[in-house]
Structures are given as structure tokens and as C-alpha cells.
Amino acid sequence: MSLSLRHKRLMFKQKYAQKLQDNPISVKVGGQTEESYLLKPMKPEDQPGSAEFRKMVSLMKTREDWLNIIPFLTGLQNSKRPFATKNLVWLVRKAGLAGQASVMVESVKQSKRTGLTLANVAVAKNLFLAIRYKAQEANFKGAEVETALRQARQMADLFDAPEHTAADRMNDAKHSPEIIAILLELSAANTLDSLGGKDVEGQVRAYATRLLSTWSFGNFDVPALWETANFRLLELIPVWSGMNLALQVDEIKADAELSNALRSRMGELGKTIEASVEKVTKESDSADRSGVVLAKRLYHK
């Protein structure tokens, strides 16, 4: 999908609404298997994240398609109709699963225009999960790990910018153990895969220490609803995985105090993971839920 400036104005400027209604315009979405998407005027009372928007996103296949999310979000901001958090989280998840986390990274870099900010910890957590997805699918080896680590560090560098800082310290991305654990996981994976297990720059140690110091900012209770527990597993498994990979790095193994502290937290977290897996499996009557599948893949005592 490629929206011209004219198309964007037709969608987002109310003075063009009737013109678009009278003369409908369709654009092609989906690369080689193109489908048509009909542009519609967006009124102030319309809710972004509607069925039409989700349909549009589901049709997006190529990077060119996904890059149009940036002007789309910008248009919503300019129209003073920003996305609700649940819709932003959904969008970020979809981008990650489509291998297009880089588009969301660029959207965050342009947060003053797009409204996509790390100050929203739910968005931040899901962005880091999206960033790590391709590295996970590559079994934490090769170029995908290097790319994911670079993107994650770029996002972490923004944590102290005013537009990416939450008013509530307990909900600030830079204090989130789930986010810090992904930085640890990717750094440890890159160290093991490309640096012979040597923490040359001390990044693995730094992230491991940071994770332990921010542990109290996390909530590691088993959720009451299996649906929530399933999504929570998607956040908790990388925390466990990050510590597990860190313990394989030479400098961490050689530090008894640090390695013992990591193992202690892994033990605590393991109980939550196991209880959550049991809850999701029993109450949903399925062992194929995404969180359970990820636990089977990466959680090993």
C-alpha cells in the first residue's frame, strides 16, 4: 500500500470528506498477492482500531505496506485522535509477528509525530517483544540477533528522553524487568554466538545487575484469568531465558554472587511460569496457546 499526500488529506481532513464519499478511492495492499482497500473519510468520532483498520493491517505483507503505518499514525495525531493503548499494543504485536518491528522502531523515533512512545509501558514491553521475535525464530543465532540487539539498544537509549518517560516511576519502561531482561537475553545471545562467550564490553553483566536491581518493579503473580496468564507467559519466558543465557557467559559463571542471585530469581520465576502454564492448559482446555508453546520451547529446568 502506498498513500500519496493527496490520499492522506482525503482521509484525515474533514473538508475533503464529502469528496471522498462521492468519489471512492481504493489502494492496493499486499505486494504480490494484492487486494484492494477502500479509503474512507475518518470523522472525529470514529475510533481508530476499527474492524476496517484491522482488516487493512491484516492485508499488509511488504515493508512498503508497513511503512505507511508511520504517516497513518501521524495523521491520527494531527487529527487529535490518537490510538487507544490496546490498539497500539495490537499493532505492535502484529508488526513483530510480521517481521516488521523495524517500522515500529522508526515510529518510536518519530514519537512527537506518531504518538508512539515508550512512556506507555504496555507499548514499550510489546515493542521489545516484537524486536526479539526474529532473533527467537533464528534460535538466537546469526545476524537476526545482532539486528535485534542493535534495535533494542536504540530504544533503550531513548528511555531518558522526556517524551519517553512515564510520570509513574513504577510504570516507567527503564525500570521494567521484562524489558531489561530482553536486553540481557539479546546481549547474552550475541556474546555466546559471536564473541565466544566473552562479555567483552561488560554489557551482559550490566544488564544482569540492572535486572536484579529492578526486580521489585515487576509483578510475578499468576494472573486470575487464563487469557491474561497466556499473554503474561509471553513476557515472562524471555525474562527466564535472558537469565539462563547470561549464566552461560564466562564472566557471569565466574562470579558466584551474581550467578547465584540470577539462579535464585530463576527459581522464583519458574514457579510462576509452571503455575501459569498449568492454568492456561487446564482452563483453556488446550496446550497450544501461544504462551504455553513458548514455555515448552524456551523454559527448561
Residue at which a domain ends, from 40, 56, 82: 82
Whether 156 and 248 share a structural domain: yes
Using alpha carbons only, what angle is made at residue 82 by residues 49 and 228, rounded to the nearest 5 degrees? 55
| Predicted confidence band of residue 164 (pLDDT cuts 50, 70, 90) | very high
Whether 154 and 270 share a structural domain: yes
**CA atoms of 244 and 215, how far apart (whole Å):** 16
What pLDDT is stored for residue 154 in this prediction? 97
| Predicted confidence band of residue 163 (pLDDT cuts 50, 70, 90) | very high
Residue at which a domain ends, from 82, 117, 134: 82
Residue at which a domain ends, from 48, 82, 116: 82
**CA atoms of 24 and 265, how far apart (whole Å):** 57
| Predicted confidence band of residue 55 (pLDDT cuts 50, 70, 90) | confident
Whether 265 and 198 share a structural domain: yes
| Predicted confidence band of residue 57 (pLDDT cuts 50, 70, 90) | confident
Locate 58 and state its grid cell. Answer: 491484516
C-beta of residue 249 within 8 angstroms of C-beta of residue 188: yes
Whether 102 and 35 share a structural domain: no
Whether 66 and 87 share a structural domain: no
Whether 162 and 283 share a structural domain: yes
pTM for the predicted model, two decimal places: 0.85
3-state secondary structure of 225: coil
Whether 144 and 236 share a structural domain: yes
What pLDDT is stored for residue 125 in this prediction? 98
Whether 29 and 39 share a structural domain: yes
What pLDDT is stored for residue 167 in this prediction? 87
pLDDT tens track for 171-185: 899 999 999 999 999
C-beta of residue 97 within 8 angstroms of C-beta of residue 58: no
pLDDT tens track for 205-239: 999 999 999 999 999 999 999 999 999 999 999 99
What pLDDT is stored for residue 44 in this prediction? 46
Mean pLDDT across the chain: 89
> Looking at the 3D structure of the chain, how many domains does it have?
2
Q: Which of 5-14, 78-87, 174-183 has the lowest mean pLDDT?
A: 5-14
**E strand or H helix at 93, and its extent?**
helix 85-97
What pLDDT is stored for residue 301 in this prediction? 79
Whether 92 and 50 share a structural domain: no
Whether 42 and 106 share a structural domain: no
Whether 127 and 266 share a structural domain: yes
Using alpha carbons only, what angle is made at residue 83 by residues 292 and 183, rounded to the nearest 5 degrees? 45
What pLDDT is stored for residue 1 in this prediction? 44
Domain span at residue 142 reads 83-298
Whether 52 and 91 share a structural domain: no
